[in-house]
Chain A
Amino acid sequence: MRREVPLLITGIVGIVFVVSYFIPHYPFSEMEHWFSDWFAIVAACAIVLGALNLMVVSGQKIARRKEGWGYAIVIIATFLLMTIFGLAGGTGFRETGTGFDWLYKYTFIPLSATMYAILAFFVASASYRAFRARNAEATLLLAAAFLMMLGRVPVGDVITCFMPEGARMSDLAIWIMNFPQTAGQRAIMIGIALGLVSTSLRIILGVERSYLGGE
C-alpha cells in the first residue's frame, strides 16, 4: 500500500502523458486533460503545504524560544497579513488600490529585486577569486565573460570606436551570444534532454524510487 500504490500511480500517469502525445484522441486526450487539471490543483496544495510547514516550523521556534524567535513572529505576521489581504480581496485581489497590491508594490517587488541585485556583489567577488587564466579552457571562459560584459556597456564601443561598424565590442558580444554560445548551449540542452528522457523512463517504469523515501 505504501510503496505499490504510489508506483502504480506514477506509472499510469506517466504512461498516459506519453501515449497522449502520440495518440491525441479519446480516451487519452480526455485523461491528459483531467490529469493536467489535477496537477494544477495538487500543485496549489503543495504550495499551501509549504506555507503551512513554514508556519509550523516558525511556531515551534517561538514556542521553544529558540535563537531568532522574534524573526519567526515577523514571518508569521507578514504571511498572515499578505494572505488575509489577498483572500479578502476576492478574485480582483491584484487590482490597483487593494491592500494586496500595496503590499506587493512596496514590499514584495523591492525585496525580491534587491535580493537578486545583491548577487551582483557576490558574483563580482566570486569571479575575482575564481577567474584565473591557468590554462586554455579557463582563459576562454575568462575572455568570453570579459568580452560579454564589455560589449554590454557603452564603454566597450568607445574603446573599439576605431573599428568599422559591425565589428565593435557590442557586435562581438552579440556574435558570441548568437554563435559559439548557441553551439555550447545546444550541446548542453541536447545532453540534458537525453538525460531527462532516461530518468523519466526510469521513474515511469518504477526503476527509480528514491522520491518515495527510505521506508
Chain B
Amino acid sequence: MDHFGLWLAAFLTLGIYSFLYKDNPWYKLSESIFIGISAGYWVVVMYWDNFYAKFWLGVFPNEQAVENGAEPDYWLLVGGVLGLLMLMRLIPKIGWVARWPLAFIVGATAGLWMMNYITSNCMSQIQSTIMPLFGADYSASIGEIIGNLVVIIGTFSGLVYFFFSKEHKGAFGATARVGIWTIMITFGAMFGYTVMSRMSLLIGRVDFIFGDWLGLIR
C-alpha cells in the first residue's frame, strides 16, 4: 500500500508541476484532488478537535471525565446553537440568521485582536526598541551598536513615513525618506527570505521525485 502511495504522491506532484508547461487536464485533476482532500481534512480536524472535544464532551462528559469530577457544561449549548445558525446560511429563506454567529465571530475577533495587537504588536515592540544602545552591561560589539542604532532610527523613521496627517516636507520629509528606505530594505529582505523558503520546498519535492520515488539519489 505504501508503494502505491509513493506512486500516487509522485503522480500528483508531477501533475501540479505540469502547470509550468500550461494548464492541462493532469494539473486540473491534481488540483481538484487537492481541493477535495483539503476540505475533507479540515472538516475532520475541526469535528474531532473542536466539535467533539469541546462541545460534545463538554455537554456530555464521558465516564472517565465524570469519575474525575467533570460536570456537564450546558452553557456550551449556546455555542452549538450559534454554530447551527451559521449552517442556516445554506437555506436562502432563513439565511439571514447566519448573521448572528457571524456577528459573534466578528465581535470576538475584534475584542480579542484589539488587546492582543496593542500588547504584542505595539507596546512590546516599542519596549524592545527602547533598548540599551551599548548592551545591558556595555558589552555590545561595534556591529551590535550600529545595528541597535539602525533599529531605533529605522523604526522611528518608518513610523514617521506612515504618518500622513502632516505633509512630508523639510526635516519631517527627510525622516520619512529614511523611513521608506528602511521599509524598502525590509520588503527586499522579506522577499529574499520568502524566495529561499520556496526554493527549499522545491528542493524537497525534487528530492522526493529523484530520491524516494525514482531512487536516483541515495
Contacts and interface: CB of A to CB of B under 8 A. Distances in A.
B159 A110 contact: no
B24 interface: no
A93 B49 CA distance: 11
A118 B15 CA distance: 11
Interface residues of A, number: 126
Interface in A16-56: 16-18, 21, 34-54, 56
Given A5-B100, A141-B188, A204-B111, A51 B39 contact: yes
A203 B110 contact: yes
Contacts of A178: 147
Interface stretch (B63-71, B86-94, B132-140, B165-173): B86-94
Q: Give chain B's interface secondary structure class.
A: helix
A63 interface: no
Interface string A97-117: 000101111111111111111
Given A179-B151, A183-B154, A183-B158, A45 B32 contact: no
A187 B114 contact: no
Interface string A135-172: 01110111111111100110000000000001000000
B107 A50 contact: no
A190 B79 contact: no
Contact of A7 (B31, B75, B103, B184): B103
Interface of B: 1, 5-6, 8-10, 12-13, 16-17, 19-20, 28-55, 58, 73, 75-76, 78-80, 82-84, 86-87, 89-90, 96, 99-108, 110-115, 117-118, 121-122, 125-126, 128-129, 143, 146-148, 150-155, 157-159, 161-162, 179-196, 198-199, 201-202, 204-205, 208
Given A43-B46, A107-B9, A144-B185, 16 more contacts: A7-B103, A11-B107, A34-B75, A35-B108, A37-B73, A41-B50, A52-B90, A111-B38, A113-B205, A140-B188, A142-B188, A176-B189, A184-B182, A186-B151, A192-B121, A200-B110
**Closest 3 pairs between A and B when the two form their complex, measured CB to CB:** A187-B158, A183-B154, A184-B186
